[in-house]
Amino acid sequence: MKIISYIFFITGMAAGTAAAQDIFVKTEYPRVVSQGEQFAITWTINTGGGEMTAPPFKGFYRLMGPQTSYSSSTSIINGKISQETSYSYTYYLQAVEPGRFTIPPAVIKVKGKEYSSDSLYIEVVADPSARQPGQGAGKQEVQEPAGSQTSGGDLYVRLIPSRTDVYAGEPVILTLKIYNRTDLSGIQEIKYPDFNGFIKEDIETPPLNSLQRENVNGVIYGTGVIQQFLIFPQLTGDLKIDPVQVTALIQQRISDPDPFFGDFFARFLNVQRVLVSNPVNLKVKPLPPGKPDNFPGLTGNVKISATLSRDTLKVNDALNLKITLSGSGNLKYAGAPTLKLSPDIEKYDPKISDNIRTSSAGQSGQRIYEYVLIPRHHGDFVIPSVTYSYFNPVSKQYETASTGVLKFHVMKGSDQAPVAMFGGVSKEDVRYLGKDIRFIMSTPGLWVKTEKFLVNSPVFLYMYLTVVLIFIVLILIRREHIRRNSDIARVRNRKAGRIAGKRLLIAGKFMRSGDNDKFYEELLKALWGYLSDKLSIPLAEMNRTRAIEKLREKGVEENVIELAREIIDKCEFARFAPAAAPSENRIVYEKAATLIKTIENTL
């Protein structure tokens, strides 16, 4: 009977949890298709017992549907029961005419209430001959071009600026984007240019695990963002950003398809293709004349506020003044505000803390200046309004933000002693206190005359020679230290193993936490960094071919070279492959550690 009651209790709580959850409808569909292509649209609702009314599919031919599916899961965590349920409705359509079409929202009725999805926007491209990404892979051989590819064709990359006409210091978002209509296997290497004349900050970009469809001049490509940057021009005039070089891996079939099984048993080989992006030209305008006297070099739009930690204190006690700049622009590289304080207040250099976010929308957040103020005199003090000037690129003029006036009261301290003033003169009259001055003893002391001097003793000579010898030894040691550190390549060679060991520890943490992407990324950084330092190859010029050639020149055994090639390939492919098992990650980690130890003992 207790078991039956417990089952009813669990069922009731699960039903109550499902009823309390928010109900929403999610839609999955391709945004771009070609004329004549067949595709699917799926509506998913996170509850059951509903009835769906499909919208009219104007401009498309309905092949079949709805095809329904159901999934449910129940979990109990710390005595709390949660249940997730979802129903999916899938329709299969075919694009008939080219153009841009809107499919109205689908309506799902659950327990007398209606829930609607968003409208769907689908573009149909009149290009039936264009092979879609991910379809027909392996049915045609990819011909390797004889040079680099910059744009157009079946695979290329572009460097896209958010704007090309800016003011000095105004941020520009750069996006490195790939366009693909081939059997792309992965990206092996990326070489970025020197951003001369710019301050560059990386924008956190999600790993490129899948491509999204996009219509490019009537052709459907699989596109994806490789990396985004935020750059701040520091010079004026016509500035140029050199192209980015990307080495991609393309699957190429090396055997004919089987007449019965097709491409199932066909063999493929990854072939390198070097892609070069377009250069980017920016016109950077100087800031207009008429800069305010207190202009700190900020280009953007900010607000300023100021607060005091307290409004009443005693003489020589500390007071905190916090000034907060909030807004957007080059906050990290702007100067501090100017304070006009009474000479009776001693000011210390501010503590600066940043809460600034760098994203695809630009750079925004807060920069906080915390000053420590110490009043050296009692009375009422006023901190005048703090002004901060900046150039607003939207209004194209200089603007000023200001704080309010701050006041505080300083009381006399107990047993206050005169204090030396910095930046001002005390307004207090000179007073004589009997306890301030102590009389000097006037009686003569006891003088003793000696005939022995330390300079004339043998001990002084030995001490002098010892100090000279120690000084000479220290000079020789210092010269040897400078000579050894002057050879940067040898210094990096000596420290390569220790640095690689630290990076392996970080990779091990990601492996134990189950974060495969960061594990392989950190492991690859450890390998490239170690080989770069050990083989004296600049990191910007490091690639697998050059590293292997250098290992052969150093006389490393072939089985060690093959192990290095295997680990590098595994790390490169792991970012585009499904998550590997924990046991496989540990094997790769141990092989990498073995490789570094072997090379360290050999070279």
CATH of the domain at 204: 2.60.40
pLDDT band of residue 154 (cuts 50, 70, 90) is confident
- Of 288, 170, 188, whose CA–CA distance to 231 is shortest? 170
In a shared domain, residues 586 and 515: yes
Average pLDDT over residues 468-485: 84
Higher pLDDT, 387 or 551: 387
Residue 276 in domain = yes
| Mean pLDDT of the chain, nearest integer | 79
Residue 9 in domain = yes
Which of the listed residues 109, 125, 141 is the one where a domain comes to its end?
Answer: 125
What is the per-residue pLDDT across 56-109, written as a single tens digit (0 to 9) for each? 888 888 878 788 887 777 777 776 777 777 888 898 888 888 888 888 888 888
Higher pLDDT, 231 or 482: 231
In a shared domain, residues 305 and 281: no
In a shared domain, residues 313 and 268: no
Whether the bond into 296 is cis, omega within 30 of 0: no
Higher pLDDT, 481 or 199: 199
* 226 neighbors 176 (Cβ within 8 angstroms): yes
pLDDT band of residue 416 (cuts 50, 70, 90) is low
Quick one: what percent of the chain has pLDDT higher than 70?
A: 79
CA 523 from chain centre, in angstroms, equals 18
In a shared domain, residues 323 and 201: no
State the pLDDT at residue 37.
80
pLDDT(494) > 80: no
What is the per-residue pLDDT across 252-307, written as a single tens digit (0 to 9) for each? 776 666 555 555 556 668 888 888 899 999 999 999 988 888 788 888 899 999 99
Q: Cα–Cα distance between 251 and 140 in angstroms, integer?
A: 11
8-state DSSP, 10: H
State the pLDDT at residue 172.
92
Which of the listed residues 376, 411, 446 is the one where a domain comes to its end?
Answer: 411
State the pLDDT at residue 438.
57
Which residue segment(s) compose the domain that 585 sits in?
488-602
State the pLDDT at residue 239.
92
Phi, psi of 150 (to 5 degrees): -105, -45
In a shared domain, residues 206 and 234: yes
Look up the CATH number of the domain holding residue 55.
2.60.40.10
In a shared domain, residues 66 and 185: no
Residue 150 in domain = no
In a shared domain, residues 78 and 6: yes
In a shared domain, residues 189 and 240: yes
State the pLDDT at residue 575.
61
Residue 417 in domain = no
Look up the CATH number of the domain holding residue 316.
2.60.40.740
Average pLDDT over residues 230-252: 90
State the pLDDT at residue 591.
83
pLDDT(316) > 60: yes
In a shared domain, residues 253 and 167: yes
8-state DSSP, 594: H
Residue 427 in domain = no
Residue 428 in domain = no
Which of the listed residues 125, 142, 174 is the one where a domain comes to its end?
Answer: 125
Sheet holding 50-53, edge to edge: 50-53, 107-110, 113-116
Look up the CATH number of the domain holding residue 550.
1.20.120
Average pLDDT over residues 345-350: 89
pLDDT(531) > 80: yes
Q: What stretches of 192-257 adopt beta strand conformation (E)?
A: 198-203, 212-216, 219-233, 237-241, 245-253
pLDDT band of residue 444 (cuts 50, 70, 90) is low
What's the distance, Cα to Cα, between the start and end of the chain in Å?
Answer: 75
Average pLDDT over residues 9-14: 43
Alpha-helical (H) ranges within 248-310 are none
In a shared domain, residues 12 and 120: yes
Alpha-helical (H) ranges within 385-515 are 458-486, 488-513
Quick one: what percent of the chain has pLDDT higher than 90?
A: 18
Identity of residue 325: L
In a shared domain, residues 97 and 44: yes
pLDDT band of residue 54 (cuts 50, 70, 90) is confident
In a shared domain, residues 404 and 332: yes
Residue 471 in domain = no
Overall domain count for the chain = 4
> Kindly report the CA angle at 25 between 23 and 27, in degrees rounded to 5?
160
* 403 neighbors 383 (Cβ within 8 angstroms): no
* Maximum pairwise Cα distance, the chain: 122
**Coil, strand or helix: which one is 390?**
strand
Residue 434 in domain = no
